Amino acid sequence: MDIARTETMILTEDIEKMKDFYADKLGLEVIRYDGHVAAFKAGISMHPRNERHTKSADTPNNVDIALWVRDMDAAAKELKGRGVSFTTEPFDEGPIFLGMITDPEGNDVLLLQRK
What is 3-114's CATH superfamily?
2,3-Dihydroxybiphenyl 1,2-Dioxygenase, domain 1 (3.10.180.10)
Burial grade of 113 (CB within 10 A; 0-12, 13-18, 19 or more): buried
pTM over 0.85: no
What does the pLDDT look like over 59-93, one tens digit per residue?
555 677 888 999 999 999 999 999 899 999 999 99
Instruction: Report the sign of the C-alpha dihedral through residues 66, 68, 74, 78, in that order.
Output: negative
* Domain positions in the chain: 3-114
What distances in angstroms separate CA 23 from CA 9, 36, 62, one per listed residue? 15, 16, 19
Q: What pLDDT does residue 114 have?
A: 94
26-61 pLDDT tens trace = 788 999 999 889 999 989 898 887 666 555 556 555
Q: What is the mean pLDDT of the chain?
A: 85
pLDDT in tens, 98-110: 999 887 667 788 9
**Confidence check: pLDDT of 96 > 80:** yes
